[in-house]
Amino acid sequence: MANDLLNIVTKVNNAIRSDKIRRIALTTLLAVHKPRIFDKGLAADGSQIGTYSKKYGEKKKLLGRNPGYVNLRLSDQMSGDYGLIVSGNEYGFGFQNSFNADKMGWNTDRYGKEIAALSDPELKLFADVLLSELNLAI
């Protein structure tokens, strides 16, 4: 009985420290988080980030891009650069290119909305996947 409990505690500790479990949960989250921003053009609160000016909308339309709502995609540079950032034991979402990070900040200020922040459904998804993966590991 004592050995069984010790084995369970060991499995739980290993699962909590598992890099694999964190990466699975984070990449699953990214698969929902990134399209919310760069495809659907939604802020963290679920509202549209904004709408383009008529002139800029016409420019995007000429380039074959979405001319209506803001989705931060003209050249796809920001979208392509956005992903999981790992620094030691810390994880987050962001950009490799600091100029793209600046552009996200400028757009957050311009539209007055949290764009790259995690939404409530995204946080729930992360917790659900993390819990599911922990259960599988135990």
Give the residue extent of every domain in the chain: 2-137
User: 98 pLDDT exceeds 90?
Assistant: yes
Reduced to 3 states (helix: H, G, I; strand: E, B; else coil), residue 14 is helix
Average confidence (pLDDT) over 111-129: 96
Query: Above pLDDT 70, what percent of the chain?
Result: 98
Q: Could you tell me which of 95, 43, 45 has the C-alpha nearest to residue 70?
A: 43
The rounded mean pLDDT for the chain is 91
Let me know if 28 is exposed, middle or buried by CB neighbors in 10 A (0-12, 13-18, 19+): middle
For residue 72, give both structure tokens: 């931060």
Is the confidence at residue 9, as pLDDT, over 90? no
What is the pLDDT confidence band of residue 29, given thresholds at 50, 70 and 90?
very high
- Give the model's pLDDT for residue 25: 93
Contacts for 91 with CB less than 8 Å, ≥ 6 apart: 22, 23, 26, 84, 85
Helix or strand (DSSP H, E) at 103: helix 98-111
Question: Model-level pTM?
Answer: 0.85
**CA 108 to chain CA mean position, Å:** 15
